[in-house]
Amino acid sequence: LVPVRASLLPSVVRGTNRTLARFCCFDAPAMIKSCVVLAVAILAGTMPKNMRPPEGVESWLMFDGVCNLCDGFVNFVADHDSDRLVKFGAQQKHMELLKRAGAPTDLSTLVLIQGERHYVYSDAALRTMAVLDWPWRGLAAFALVPAPVRDACYKFVARYRYLVFGKTESCRVPTGDFRRRFIDYRPEEEEADPISST
């Protein structure tokens, strides 16, 4: 071993401390921001996969058929679901189905039925997003927000949806190819309608 003079030790220690300090504090805010972005990216990629139904299980999105906001969401889902994994149904027309599923029938929430299970409020919206195309699928990562917080926001919007977005007098009647996306679609009706594809 090479002996080190005692008089040199304080300067060596001070130099080592300065080097460690520079290494440990090297642009800490940028490092934290990068870690957060990486974590969000990983979660956005994995969360939707965990929230999707098992292979072969259909997703039925039950919505308030006279609500303009709900109609807008249905249109959005249809436009960004290239695999056609989601089918739609106006709650007013399927109250018996909702009762059998044990879901609310007071039009206070979207209802997503996937096999034996159903989801309401923000869970219904986020699990619907999880089956859409990218990048919209990544929004399902908002499921990390505590459910009471998400549901409180959802219920606030739902309470004032008619006031802000308006409503129609009757449930929408889908036409053309779009009506094939509804759970009450019957192919024989299309065969009897020569202009159904328009």
**Range 171-187 average pLDDT:** 74
Task: Give me the chain's average pLDDT, please.
Answer: 77
Question: What integer pLDDT is reported at residue 85 of this predicted model?
Answer: 87
Nearest to 182 by CA among 53, 41, 86, 80: 86
Two tokens at 37?
Answer: 């972005």
Average pLDDT over residues 152-167: 91
What residues pair up with 117 in beta bridges, in sequence order? 114
Question: Rg of the Cα trace of the chain?
Answer: 27
Residue 34 parent element (H or E): helix 28-51
Check pLDDT > 60 for residue 45.
no
Which residue in this structure is represented by tokens 């098992």?
54
Which pTM was predicted? Answer: 0.68
Distant-in-sequence, close-in-space partners of 106: CB < 8 Å, separation ≥ 6: none
Task: Output the six-digit token pair for 124.
Answer: 């219904």
pLDDT at 152 over 90: yes
Per-residue pLDDT tens for 84-138? 889 998 888 889 989 988 888 888 899 999 988 899 999 999 999 999 999 898 8
Question: Cα 172 to the chain's mean position, in Å?
Answer: 24
**Lowest mean pLDDT segment, chosen from 20-29, 73-82, 156-165:** 20-29
Residue of 98, 80, 85, 99 whose CA lies nearest to 54:
85
Residue that is written with structure tokens 């974590």 in the block: 39
Name which of 21-35, 51-65, 117-131, 155-169 the model is least confident about.
21-35
Rounded to whole angstroms, how far apart are CA atoms 158 and 135?
25
